[in-house]
Structure 1
Amino acid sequence: TIHSWVFDTGLDLAVASGFTSAFVVQQAYADIRYKWLGLRLGSWEEMPTPLNHSLSSGGMSWSGNARPIPQIRAGFPDYITLFPFFKLKCETSYGWFTDNNFQKKTVGETDYKYVKNAKYHHKSLYIRIGKPQWRLSFEGGYTLDEQFGGYQMIGKEQVWDLGNTMKDYVVAFIPQSGGDDGPANETYFKGNYTGNEHFKFSYQLKNSTISAYMENYYEDFSGMGKLNGMDGLWGIEYATNQKQIINAVVLEYLQTTNQSSPLVIMVPSDVSKKDIVTDNYYNNWIYVSWQHWGMALGNPLLRSPIYNQNGYLGFPYNRVKAVHVGWSGDITDKWTYRMKLTYNQTFGTVTEPTLDILDNYSTFAEVTYMPQMTNGWIFTASTAFDTGYLYGDNWGIQLKINKKF
C-alpha cells in the first residue's frame, strides 16, 4: 500500500486427471485500487452475488462452477457510502472465452454448432440499506452478463461473423439490435444475455445473523418481470461470528421448471400452425449455451454440457427442482470442516421433456488444517460423490495446499 494505492496479485495453478486439461492456470491476475476505484486484469475466481458461496449451491447466472474467463474489470468493487444508511457498488468488464479448441474437439464431425472467439461483457449494480445499529438490513442488485462477437461454426465451416470490431464492444455495453445482416435471433438484441435479480434481507442478533434471499434468473423481459413463476434460487442462512461446531448453515430450494412458459402463439404466415414461446435457460440458438470449457457458468445443478455424450454443447436438462443444504464449523482452533448435501429432480427441457423424472443425490465433505507454526500454509482434503440417473455413480477426491503471503 502506498498512501491510498493498493496492489495485489494472485496465481493459482492446478494439475488434474480426467479433466479438460492436465495443467490448468486457474487464476492469474493483478488488482490495482486507488481509494474506492478498482481495476483488475486477468483470470480470477469471482462470486459477484451476496451468497455464502462456500455453502450455497451456486448463483443463477454466475456460480464459479466453470473455469474463469480472462477479462478487464473496472468500477467500485467494494461498497461505498453515499448516505449513512445507503451503500452502493458497481462494476463493468470485458473478457474473452478461451475454450475454442475444447468446443471444436467436442463437436467433432457432428452438425452441432459452436462459436469460436466469443467475447464476454459484464455489468453489476448492488445496494445495501442499513446501519450497524439496525437489526434489519437489505442487500440487492442486478447483474447482466453477455456473450457477443465471435464466429458461429458448424464443423469447420464458418456460418456467421457475429461482430468483432470495436463497434461491437460499444453495442455490448449499450444493447442494440443485430440489424438485418445478422442471424434472425439477433433481430431484437445482439448477443446472448443472462442476468440475476438478487434480494436479501438480514436480521442481526447478538452474535449471529439470519438471512432470507432470492435470486431471480432472467434472459429477457419476461424473466425480469417475474413471469417465470417460482423459478429462482430461494434460501435462508444462519451465520455466527463465534467459533463452534456449526457456525453457518444454508438451506436452498432451486426451481427452473416454469421458464416463462408455455405461451402458445399463432404463426402469422399460416394461422393453422402454432408456436410455443418459452425461455430455454442457459441455451441459445446462436451461442449454443451459457458455458465455458463445458461447465455451466450458472448454477451447476443444471447439468453441464461436458456430460453430454453426443457432441452437443447445450443443456438438455435445464428444468430442475432441487433441495440443497450446506453447513460448516470449527472442530478445533486449527481444524475446520464443510459439508453439502443436494437432492435434485430433472425434467429435461420445455420442448423436449424427459419421459421419466431423473433424480440425483450429491454429497461433498471437506476438512481444512491451518497449523500456526507453518506461517501461512493451509492444507485441505475434500471428497464428493454422486448417485442417481442424471450423472450416474461418481466419486472423487481433491488435495489442496495453499500458501498465503
Structure 2
Amino acid sequence: MKRMFVSIFIFLLTFVSSDLLYAQDDDFELRYEAEANMISGGGDFSPFWLSANRQGLVSLSPNNGYLRMGIHKDMEVRNRFSYGFGVDLVGAYEQSAPFYIQQAYVDLKYRSLGVTIGSKEQTSLLEHPELSSGSMVWSGNARPVPQLSVGIPRFTDVPGTNGWVQVKGELSYGFSTDANYQRDRYKKPFSYARHILFHRKNLIFKFEKDAPFFGLVGIDMAAHFGGDVYYADGSVVHCPTDFESFLKVFVPMSGGSNSTWSDQVNVLGNHVGSYLMEFGYKQDDWRIRIYKEHYFDDHSGMIFKNWQDGLWGFEWTRLDRSWLTGFVFECMNSTDQSGPILWNENETIPIQVSGADDYYNNIYGWAHWGMTQGTPFITSPDYNADGYMSMRNSRVRAFHVGVKGYITEELNYRFLSSYSRNWGTLYLPFLNIKSNYSGLLEVRYAPEKYSGFSFGTAVGVDTGSLLGDNWGIQLSVRKSGILFKKR
C-alpha cells in the first residue's frame, strides 16, 4: 500500500508543482508559517495540557522544544475545481525523532467531492478545536497518519431538502509511520506491532438553515489492521493486507487463519467509533449547543450496552473580541465498557457475554508515535516507562472546562482545567483509584504593528497520583504571511 500511496502522492505533487511554476490559477496564494516553541519545567513529564491535543508535536519530556516551518496553499472553496497542498517540517529537541515531516499533503476538489492524499493534521469532528478535551475517536492528540481520503469533506446541501439538511463524509485508508518507534520503545516481556495500516470512515448530517435551532447526527469509525505482530515469546504474525482484508475492515468481519487469534474470534483489526449528536440555538453574534459522543469499541457498544460511556458537552461561543468568546464544559466517562466480563459462547457454556471492552487496547493499541489518537484522558502508552505499548489506564471519569477570550484587541487568552479519576483497565485495575488535576493558562500577543507575528506564553500544571506533580512554562514565537500571490 505504501508504494501505491507514494506513487499517487508524487503524481499529484507534480501536478500542483507545474501549476505553481506556470501560475495557471487566476487566484493563487502561497502562504508560509514558522514557529519556535520551547517548554521548560519540573517533574517527570511535561504538563498534560502543554502536550495533549497538539498533533503530537510536544514531547512528554519536561524540557523540550521544536522549530517548525511550512508552506501551504488553501483550496478555493467557491471554485468548481480547486486544489491545495502543504508541506510542514519539524526539527525537535527531546522528542522521539530529531527531524520529521509533520505534514505533506495534496487536496483536490471538484464541486462537493474531495480527495486528500498525504499526512495532514485533523481535529475533532464535533468538539471545539481549542477548548474541548477532544473526541474519543480522533482528537488531534497524535501525529497525523498518511492516508488517501475521498468523500464530501465539507457540508453540502442534500438535494430535495431546500437547504435544511446538509451532509458530509469521508472514507480513508492509510498507514502508520512509527514502526521504528515501536521497535525501539518496547521492552520484553511485552508484545507490539509494526507497519500498521489505518482505516477511517464517517458520515454526518446537519440540520440548519435560517431557523435559530440546529442539530447534527452522525457516525465516526476507525480501525488499525495489518502489520506485523511481535509476541513476547518471540513469535511473529504477519497480518493480512490483501484486498479482502481492506473489505473486512470496511464492513467489520472476522479475520482468517493468517490473522491473530483475537481477530479470528472477533473482527479483523482494532476498531473504535462514536455516534455523534448535537442540538443548539444561535443568534447573529452568539450560539449555544449541547452535544453527545457515544463511544463504542465493539458491537456491544454499538447497541448501547455501554450507555453510560461517552462524552457530554455544553458550549457557548460568540463572534466578537470580548473578554469571553468561548466556554466549554464536558464530562467524559469510560468506566462501564459494557460490563466486567467477556465470555465467548461455546459448547460448555452456550451464553455470550460481550463485556470488558478494554477501550483502545488490542495488540495494536489506538495510538500513533506513543500518543492516543482519541481522548488524551485515556493515558497514552508514551507515559509507560517500562516499554508497555498499550494503555494501562482506559477506565476514566473526567470533568473539563475550557474558556477563552480577548483582554485587548491584540491580546487573547485560553484557560483549560480538568479533573479525572482513574481506575486502570478491567484486566489490570489500579489497586487504588488515581486522581489527577491538570490546568493551563495561555496568553498570546499578536501586535498589529508587526503583521504576521504572534508571541505566546503558557503555564501548565499537573497534580495527583496518576501523572504526579509537574509544572512547565511554554514560550513560542510564530510568523506567518504570504510568500507568493497572483490575482
| Distance in 1 of aligned mates of 2:137 and 2:345 | 32
Which SS does the other structure have where 2:375 is aligned? coil
| Distance in 1 of aligned mates of 2:178 and 2:277 | 33
User: Does 2:88 correspond to 1:12?
Assistant: yes
User: Does 2:376 correspond to 1:300?
Assistant: yes
Within the candidate set 155, 161, 177, 1:79 is matched to: 155
RMSD: 2.3
Cα deviation for residue 398 of structure 1 reads 4.5
| Distance in 2 of aligned mates of 1:111 and 1:268 | 31
How many residues align? The count is 401
Name the structure where strand makes up a greater proportion of residues: 1
Residue by residue over 1:341-373, the C-alpha shift from the partner in whole angstroms, topping out at 9 and shown as x without a partner, is 111110111232212111111111222222334
CA contact (8 A) 2:132 2:328 kept: yes
Aligned residue number for residue 310 of structure 1: 386
Code of the residue aligned with 1:244 in structure 2: it is S
Aligned residue number for residue 461 of structure 2: 385
* Greater RCO (CA < 8 Å, at least 6 residues apart): 2
Please give the residue correspondences for 1:79-158 in structure 2 after superposition, counting only pairs within 5 Å: 79-82=155-158, 83=161, 84-108=163-187, 110-132=188-210, 134-154=211-231, 157-158=234-235
Query: Unaligned regions of 5+ residues in structure 1, if any?
Result: none
Q: Runs ≥4 in structure 1, deviation > 6 angstroms?
A: none
User: Does 2:402 correspond to 1:326?
Assistant: yes
Cα deviation for residue 242 of structure 1 reads 1.9
Within the candidate set 180, 184, 193, 2:271 is matched to: 193
Aligned residue number for residue 322 of structure 2: 244
Within the candidate set 231, 246, 259, 1:182 is matched to: 259
| Distance in 2 of aligned mates of 1:72 and 1:266 | 36
Cα deviation for residue 238 of structure 1 reads 0.5
* C-alpha distance 33-156 of structure 1, shift in aligned 2 (>3 A): farther
Which SS does the other structure have where 2:93 is aligned? coil
Aligned residue number for residue 228 of structure 1: 306
| Distance in 2 of aligned mates of 1:95 and 1:291 | 14
* Identity between Structure 1 and Structure 2 (%): 34
CA contact (8 A) 2:82 2:109 kept: yes
Which SS does the other structure have where 2:244 is aligned? helix
Cα deviation for residue 275 of structure 1 reads 8.3
Deviates more, 1:311-320 or 1:156-165: 156-165
Aligned residue number for residue 289 of structure 2: 211
TM-score normalised by structure 2 residue count = 0.77
Code of the residue aligned with 1:122 in structure 2: it is R
| Distance in 2 of aligned mates of 1:334 and 1:128 | 34
Which SS does the other structure have where 1:299 is aligned? coil
TM-score normalised by structure 1 residue count = 0.92
Deviates more, 1:24-33 or 1:329-338: 24-33
| Distance in 1 of aligned mates of 2:281 and 2:353 | 47
| Distance in 1 of aligned mates of 2:448 and 2:282 | 32
Which SS does the other structure have where 1:176 is aligned? coil
CA contact (8 A) 2:156 2:168 kept: yes
Cα deviation for residue 7 of structure 1 reads 2.2
Aligned residue number for residue 359 of structure 2: 281
Within the candidate set 211, 230, 248, 1:171 is matched to: 248
Query: Unaligned regions of 5+ residues in structure 2, if any?
Result: 1-24, 27-78, 483-487
| Distance in 2 of aligned mates of 1:124 and 1:291 | 19
CA contact (8 A) 2:240 2:258 kept: no
User: Does 2:421 correspond to 1:345?
Assistant: yes
Which SS does the other structure have where 1:350 is aligned? coil
| Distance in 1 of aligned mates of 2:233 and 2:101 | 28
